[in-house]
């Protein structure tokens, strides 16, 4: 369980029934929406209940969930990270450059090892840079991460001279195309990341201190919590996860395009976090919620497409979902 508020909710003595309803909707709304979507599709969408459909949807949602987990942690600590899409582009274009030996000459084996590690480390360091801007200069997170949102994609384009890199490298592409026991590797990675982050957020000192910093930074500092160091770590983790998502996306496509990798990802991730019930002002977060939120958004899109509604209309529905999620949060906030 990654829900941070697993405790039984006890409304204040005179709390109106409506408020606890709102709280229940906030907590279980995403789950209910997901179940309803699955039931709807099972009834009306042809071939929905097939292994193929499950895999398609899970594969589509992987990158968003992996980035969304990082985003959940950043938002829980009271920040936000707009740079994730650009960091995906850097990591996604860096990997082929390394294993194709365009950056420096390497043996194929070493090149592959470096292609997995160097981009993720680079993205983590850039995330650390975000954290440094936020904590050292007290720049608002939305502005601090805007720096790499803009510059990051530029860096990726400069590295590749703006060219599309096409490659066929089965070992590297295993991360995006491979399967273990029929389950896509990226789905396994996603599940591990969700489980680890959920556990860390609920059970570890780091996770609880992170939520304390997001919930009341001044009280956290006076309780001896090293809030700056926690913030820096959180941005580094968000960067590393964006780096991993970048690798998965280019491996899946067999091509790296600095202009397109991770484009708009920051907004998809924030949408998943919001729909998942994490408080956007910090202090309350649910990693499982983010997973469910991403699945709901994906499934709504799939449902509309499978039933002949154009993608453009699906975008409008996605926006509606976000408004609904935020509205539910506002209502629940007034309770207890």
Partner 1 sequence: MALVAMHGIRKAFNAVPALVDASLEIEPGEVMALVGQNGAGKSTMIKILTGAYRRDEGTLTFDGRPVDFPNPGAAQDAGISTIYQEINLVPHRSVAENVFLGREPTRLGFIDWRRMNREAEAALARFNVSVDVQAPLSTFNAATRQMVAIARAVSRKARLVVMDESTSSLDEREVATLFDTIRTLKRDGVSVLFVSHRLDELYAVCDRVTIMRDGATIGVHPMSAITKMDLVTAMLGRALAAAEHRLHDAPPHKAGAPIVEAAGLARGRRLRDVDLAVHSGEVVALAGLLGSGRTETARVLFGADRPEAGSLKLDGRDVAFGEPSEAIEAGFGFLSEDRKIEGIIPDMSVAENLTLALMPRLAKAGVIDRAAQREVVNRFIRRLGIKLASPDQKIRELSGGNQQKVLLARWLAMNPRLLIVDEPTRGIDVGAKADVLTMIRELAGAGLGVVMVSSELEEIISLADRVTVLSDGRSVRDLHAGEIDETSIMAAMASDVPTTGAPHG
**Is 5 or 253 the residue whose CB approaches partner 1 more closely?**
5
- Residue 5 is a binding residue for partner 1 (CB under 8 A): yes
- Residue 226 is a binding residue for partner 1 (CB under 8 A): yes
**Is 7 or 107 the residue whose CB approaches partner 1 more closely?**
7
- Residue 216 is a binding residue for partner 1 (CB under 8 A): yes
Taking residues 150 to 189 in sequence order and writing x for each that binds partner 1 by CB under 8 A, - otherwise, the string is ----------------------------------------
- How far is the C-alpha of 214 from the C-alpha of 305, rounded, in Å? 38
Taking residues 263 to 282 in sequence order and writing x for each that binds partner 1 by CB under 8 A, - otherwise, the string is ----------------x---
- How far is the C-alpha of 185 from the C-alpha of 274, rounded, in Å? 27
**Is 17 or 218 the residue whose CB approaches partner 1 more closely?**
218
| Other residues' Cβ atoms within 10 Å of the Cβ of residue 322 | 17
- Residue 209 is a binding residue for partner 1 (CB under 8 A): yes
Shortest distance (Å) from residue 138 CB to partner 1: 15
**Is 166 or 219 the residue whose CB approaches partner 1 more closely?**
219
Give yes or no for a contact between 88 and 242, defined as CB atoms under 8 angstroms apart: yes
Give yes or no for a contact between 64 and 294, defined as CB atoms under 8 angstroms apart: yes
- Residue 328 is a binding residue for partner 1 (CB under 8 A): no
Selected binder of partner 1 within 219, 313, 316, 326 (CB under 8 A): 219
User: Read out DSSP for 137-197?
Assistant: S---HHHHHHHHHHHHHHHHHHHTTTPPEE---HHHHHHHH-EETTEEHHHHHHHHHHHHH
Under 8 Å CB-to-CB from 206, ≥6 apart: which residues? 200, 230, 233
Selected binder of partner 1 within 203, 319, 320, 334 (CB under 8 A): 203
- How far is the C-alpha of 219 from the C-alpha of 215, rounded, in Å? 9
Query: Of 279, 234, 240, 272, nearest to 62 (Cα)?
Result: 272
- Tokens, residue 53: 């459909």
User: Of 161-169, 182-190, 210-218, 310-318, which part binds partner 1 (CB under 8 A)?
Assistant: 210-218
Give contact residues for partner 1 (rule: CB under 8 A).
5, 7-8, 10, 12, 203-206, 208-209, 211-212, 215-216, 218-226, 279, 283-284, 336
């Amino acid at each position: 369980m990654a829900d941070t508020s697993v405790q039984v909710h006890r409304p204040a003595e005179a709390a109106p029934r409506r408020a606890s309803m709102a709280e229940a909707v906030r907590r279980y709304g995403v789950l209910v929406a997901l179940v309803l979507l699955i039931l709807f599709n099972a009834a009306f969408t042809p071939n929905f209940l097939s292994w193929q459909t499950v895999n398609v949807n899970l594969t589509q949602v992987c990158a968003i969930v992996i980035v969304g987990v990082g985003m959940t942690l950043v938002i829980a600590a009271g920040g936000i990270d707009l740079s994730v899409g650009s960091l995906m582009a850097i990591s996604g274009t860096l990997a082929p450059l390394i294993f194709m030996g365009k950056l420096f000459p390497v043996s194929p084996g070493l090149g592959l090892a470096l292609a997995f590690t160097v981009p993720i480390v680079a993205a983590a360091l850039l995330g650390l840079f975000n954290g440094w801007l936020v904590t050292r200069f007290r720049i608002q997170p939305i502005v601090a991460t805007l720096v790499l949102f803009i510059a990051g994609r530029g860096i990726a384009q400069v590295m590749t001279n703006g060219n599309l890199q096409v490659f066929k490298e089965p070992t590297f592409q295993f991360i995006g195309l491979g399967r273990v026991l029929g389950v896509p590797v990226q789905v396994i990675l996603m599940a591990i990341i969700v489980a680890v982050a959920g556990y860390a957020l609920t059970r570890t000192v780091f996770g609880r201190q992170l939520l304390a910093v997001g919930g009341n930074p001044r009280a956290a500092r006076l309780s001896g919590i090293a809030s700056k160091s926690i913030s820096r770590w959180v941005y580094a983790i968000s960067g590393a996860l964006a780096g991993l998502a970048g690798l998965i996306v280019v491996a899946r496509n067999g091509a790296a395009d600095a202009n397109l990798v991770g484009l708009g990802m920051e907004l998809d991730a924030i949408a998943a976090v919001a729909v998942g019930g994490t408080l956007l002002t910090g202090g309350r977060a649910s990693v499982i919620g983010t997973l469910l939120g991403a699945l709901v958004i994906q499934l709504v899109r799939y449902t509309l497409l499978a039933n002949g509604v154009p993608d453009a209309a699906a975008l409008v529905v996605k926006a509606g979902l976000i408004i609904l999620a935020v509205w539910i949060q506002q209502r629940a906030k007034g309770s207890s």
